Amino acid sequence: MTMTNRKTVIATMLAALAAAPLAIAPVQVQAQAYPQPQAPVSHFYSQAELDQMLAPIALYPDALLSQVLMAATYPIEVTEAARWTRANPGLQGDDAVRAVQGEDWDPSVKSLVAFPEILQRMEERPEWTQALGDAFLAQEPQVMDEVQRLRHRAQSAGHLRSSEQIRVVEQGPVIVLQPASPDYFYVPYYDPLEVYGTWWWPSYRPVYWAPWPGYVRPRSSYAFWWGRPVGLSVGFFFGNFDWRQRYVRVAYPNSYYYRAPAYSSRTFVAGSRWQHDPQHRRGMDYRQAEVRQRFSGAQFERRADRQPSQFQAQPGARTQFQAQPGARTQFQAQPQTATPAPSVERRADRRDDRRAERQFAPAMTPAQPRPEQRDDRRAERQAAMEAQRQAYQQAQQQQARQQARQAQDFQRQAQQQQQARQAQDFQRQAQQQQARQQAQESQRQAQQQARQQAQAARQEQRAAAQAPQQPRAERREQRQERREHRGEHEKG
């Protein structure tokens, strides 16, 4: 080996030794430059705190209350929805919900634009909204138990009973609240310090709202205030409670604005348990450690039955593992002041590039969908749209049939009421005629009796007037006969 070759080998070895620690240096610097933030301390709510935050909404109908609890887990989207309702004050009910179909909000948040008063109250107290959502995610069974305790207290106080706006149904120990009419929905307002009686947590006063504009308190309901009804379509609410299992379920998944979470691993059917979607959390952290751990990686998961195009990178698009032009990846060695020979550096760079390509080859290779796959996906989308259209048409037809039945019932009731009024009028007329006949008969009898009495009186007067005109002889004979008759009677 010549001296020149020996120098070349030594230079190559020194360059390799110098380049080895350089590949690790950028990773260590990056870890030091971006330290992980400390997780907040977990907090579980006591019974007093749960009563305090649930008091103003525990007496809502079950379907509405379940979706208020869902929406409270997305405070940022609740704020956006409340601002939208202020910008569109003339919309409520189904019209408002259909107007926000293009918004990237959770279905529970979209449903609340039908009730602007509730969204405004949730935005006015963001700390209460966030605490309500955190408590629901971490202590769902306890939240449902406290709702039942509050309802029993309101019933014991004499304020929770069925009315024209709400129907109270007792299913054993469970109190279920339902709207009184399927076509109109009333949102109640009440003062927690009145409806529940004497408040039992002096240090935890219930959340209080001022009476809502346009609400009045009828005489038959001392503690409840009611506003104008909200028109909703059949099957509007997709959520409800499973009081036996103590969780919120998806009772009507075919609602026109409902979409299952993207990370769900199963198809939603009626009765499935509701699942929180952390993608709509918008980066807001969870207060409880176990809740944070439960949803830590859910936003990167996808359903197994989703279309392949949602997993694959689009042609021409860069993945998160590709290096931008002119930039080095974290696996490449950064140039130092004392650089090795150019050929050695190029070889090290190529070696690192090949290692990165082998490690991340599946992510860097965009999969092109085959034509038959595109046709299948197009057919599936069309079938899903057709199924959704048919479900909507069926709901509309059902609503039309229900309205027709209600119109017939109303007409039948009106006819029955008219017949009842006619029967009452006929009976009243008959009674009046009978009373007049009796009065006339009594009057006729009284007149006849009066005439008879007058005739008898005239006869007596006539007899009395004729008595003095009798002859004295006749009177003497009559007296004699009477004396003789008395004498015979004494002797006998």
Helix, strand, or coil (residue 241): strand
What is the extent of the structural domain holding 232?
A: 47-300
pLDDT at 145: 96
What average pLDDT score do residues 91-95 get?
90
The per-residue pLDDT for range 371-417, each reduced to its tens digit, is: 666 677 777 777 777 777 777 777 777 777 877 787 787 778 878 88
The two structure tokens encoding residue 139: 């202590």
Residue at which a domain ends, from 284, 300, 316 = 300
* 378 in any annotated domain: no
Total-model pTM: 0.55
* 270 in any annotated domain: yes
Structure-derived torsion over alpha carbons of residues 375, 379, 384, 386, reported in degrees to the nearest 10: 150
Same domain, 127 and 254: yes
* 491 in any annotated domain: no
The per-residue pLDDT for range 211-222, each reduced to its tens digit, is: 888 999 887 777
Residue at which a domain ends, from 378, 400, 417 = 417
Residue at which a domain ends, from 395, 417, 439 = 417
Same domain, 74 and 217: yes
**What DSSP designation does 108 have?**
H
Same domain, 108 and 229: yes
Same domain, 55 and 164: yes
Which residue has better confidence, 52 or 231? 52
* 311 in any annotated domain: no
* 451 in any annotated domain: no
Identify the top-confidence range among 33-37, 323-327, 460-464.
460-464
Could you tell me what percent of the chain has a pLDDT over 90?
A: 38
pLDDT at 319: 34
Identify the top-confidence range among 267-271, 332-336, 372-376.
372-376
* 307 in any annotated domain: no
Q: Please state, rounded to an integer, the average pLDDT across all residues of the chain.
A: 76
Angle between the N-to-C axes of helices 47-54 and 140-156, in degrees from 0 to 180, rounded to the nearest 10 = 70
Number of domains in the chain: 2
The two structure tokens encoding residue 28: 């260590």
The per-residue pLDDT for range 23-72, each reduced to its tens digit, is: 333 333 333 333 344 444 456 899 999 999 999 999 999 999 999 999 99
The per-residue pLDDT for range 174-193, each reduced to its tens digit, is: 999 999 988 789 999 999 99
What average pLDDT score do residues 282-308 get?
68
pLDDT at 305: 38
* 364 in any annotated domain: no
The two structure tokens encoding residue 204: 């935890």
Same domain, 80 and 183: yes
Same domain, 291 and 395: no
Same domain, 295 and 391: no
CB-side exposure of 358: number of CA atoms within 13 Å? Answer: 6
Same domain, 392 and 249: no
Place of tokens 């008879």: 452
* 407 in any annotated domain: yes
